[in-house]
Amino acid sequence: MKNTTYLPVVAGLALCASAALAETPVLQVMTYDSFTSEWGPGPAVEAAFEAQCACDLQFVGAGDGASLLARLQLEGPRTEADIVLGLDTNLTAAARETGLFAPHGVAADLDLPVAWNDADFLPFDWGYFAFVGNAGADAPASLRALADSDIQIVIQDPRSSTPGLGLLMWVKAAYGDGAATLWADLADNIITVTPGWSEAYGMFLDGQADAVLSYTTSPAYHLIAEEDDSKVAWSFDEGHYMQVEVAGKVAGTDQPELADQFLAFMVSDAFQSVIPTTNWMYPAVIPAAGLPDGFETLMTPETSLLLSPEDAAAMRDAALDEWRTALSQ
């Protein structure tokens, strides 16, 4: 009989709990898939932010960086996302053009090798593109030397992959009008072009190619997670093109304060210290504890190349045509 007296109490408690749950504000962050996966920064970032915001942080995964923008354009102004995280500077011009973003309003002291003064998009990490090969093998000293050698590489398609697009911009930034010639000479080094980074990197690890287009930070994964120092990034004289990954606040957000709070949190220690060993990139703000052991062994390019978002957008189609013509011969 005792149980029956508890029943209304339990039911009441459950009701209160669900009411409290319904009142918890939800912040939706649209980002690329590998950010939210259990191996990416997502889980740690979610736990750290929820500990301080009294909110529910939800990630919406959408393929890779390029499909992120397409997804946002599909959803248009009706999107429920409050933050879009994971675009890079090759995509921000198009993203700005959608008119869906509001200024981020964060004044942070960023540790980027280039000056940053974009009012709409705030970086959360960055890296240098580089070819990653095996230690001890022949390493060319420049893009030109690579094109003149008979080293076999695998790259990603710029139409479907952000590193692929990065290489397109790298060659354009380094060679300008000579880009077409360089691609023509590189053509016989490229054994194949894959749709995404994963396929290319997998083929390289399988020994199908001497090197793969990736990041200077890729060897850090093998060193730190696998204690394997056999992978190295090649340093090129022309300099290395950068990928700066950014987040932006959606103008139509129904949680503007939470969104601002998240962007400020994004450049704080709690977020930034997760980045190096989950996203395997450099944090936009170096955390107080510094970079993890192993990062000091990474190759640091002497020259950083980066086109402005406007230049990148303006050059993109012509650069793609050059690339396709040269590689279709």
Partner 1 sequence: MAHSLVPVTPRWPGVAVAALVLALTLGTLAAVGWRAEWVGGLAPADWAAVRFTLVQAFLSALLSVLLAVPVARALARRGFYGRDLLITLLGAPFLLPVIVAVLGLLAIFGRGGLLNDGLVWLGFQPVSIFGLHGVVLAHVFFNMPLAVRFILQGWLSIPAERFRLAASLNAPVGRLLEWPMLRSVVPGTFLVIFLICLTSFAVALTMGGGPRATTVELAIYQAVRFDFDLGRAALLACIQFGLCVVAAALAWGVTGNDPMGAGMDRVVQRWDLPRPVVDYAVIAVAALFLLLPLGMIVVRGLPAFPDMPATVWAAALRSLCVAIGSAALCVLMALALALRGGAMVSVVGVMPLAASGLVVGTGAFLIVFPFVRPADVALLVTMLVNATLALPFALRAIAPTVDQINQSYGRLGLALDMRGWTWLRWVVLPRLRRPLGFAAGLAAALSMGDLGVIALFAGQEQETLPLAMYRLMGAYRMETAASAALLLVVLSFALFWICDRWGRGRVEM
> Could you say which of 44, 53, 56, 63 contacts partner 1 (CB under 8 A)?
63
Alpha carbon distance 145, 151 (integer Å): 10
Q: Letter for the amino acid at 281?
A: M
First-to-last CA distance in the chain?
86
Alpha carbon distance 169, 105 (integer Å): 29
> Could you say which of 31, 36, 235, 253 contacts partner 1 (CB under 8 A)?
36
CA distances (Å), origin 123, targets 54, 89, 289: 25, 9, 20
195 part of the interface to partner 1, by CB under 8 A: yes
Q: Which x/- pattern, by CB under 8 A, does the window 266-285 give for partner 1?
A: --------------x-----
202 part of the interface to partner 1, by CB under 8 A: yes
190 part of the interface to partner 1, by CB under 8 A: yes
Rounded to the nearest whole angstrom, what is the least distance from the CB of residue 106 to partner 1 in the complex?
Answer: 27
Of 146 and 285, CB closest to partner 1 = 146
Of 194 and 255, CB closest to partner 1 = 194
Alpha carbon distance 324, 183 (integer Å): 9
Do the Cβ atoms of 216 and 276 come closer than 8 Å?
Answer: no
Of 72 and 305, CB closest to partner 1 = 72
Do the Cβ atoms of 129 and 242 come closer than 8 Å?
Answer: yes
Give the list of residues 6+ apart from residue 8 with CB closer than 8 angstroms, or none.
Answer: none
CA–centroid distance for 78 within its chain: 25
Rounded to the nearest whole angstrom, what is the least distance from the CB of residue 239 to partner 1 in the complex?
Answer: 25
Rounded to the nearest whole angstrom, what is the least distance from the CB of residue 302 to partner 1 in the complex?
Answer: 27
CA dihedral sign, ordered 156, 158, 164, 168? positive
201 part of the interface to partner 1, by CB under 8 A: yes
Tokens 């749950």 label which residue?
21
> Could you say which of 67, 134, 181, 268 contacts partner 1 (CB under 8 A)?
67
Rounded to the nearest whole angstrom, what is the least distance from the CB of residue 201 to partner 1 in the complex?
Answer: 7
- Residue 23 host element (H or E): helix 2-23
70 part of the interface to partner 1, by CB under 8 A: yes
CA distances (Å), origin 222, targets 58, 94, 217, 228: 30, 35, 10, 5
**Selected range binding partner 1 among 36-44, 103-111, 125-133, 234-242, rule: CB under 8 A:** 36-44
Of 104 and 282, CB closest to partner 1 = 282
Structure tokens given for 135: 């230690």
DSSP of 3-20 = HHHHHHHHHHHHHHHHHH
E strand intervals along 25-118: 26-31, 56-61, 83-88, 101-102
60 part of the interface to partner 1, by CB under 8 A: yes
Of 11 and 70, CB closest to partner 1 = 70
> Could you say which of 55, 145, 203, 299 contacts partner 1 (CB under 8 A)?
203
323 part of the interface to partner 1, by CB under 8 A: yes
Of 140 and 158, CB closest to partner 1 = 158
34 part of the interface to partner 1, by CB under 8 A: yes
Contact set with partner 1 (CB under 8 A): 33-34, 36-40, 42, 59-63, 66-67, 69-71, 73-75, 78, 80, 94, 152, 157-160, 187, 190-195, 197-199, 201-203, 205-209, 218, 221-222, 225, 280, 321, 323-324, 327-328
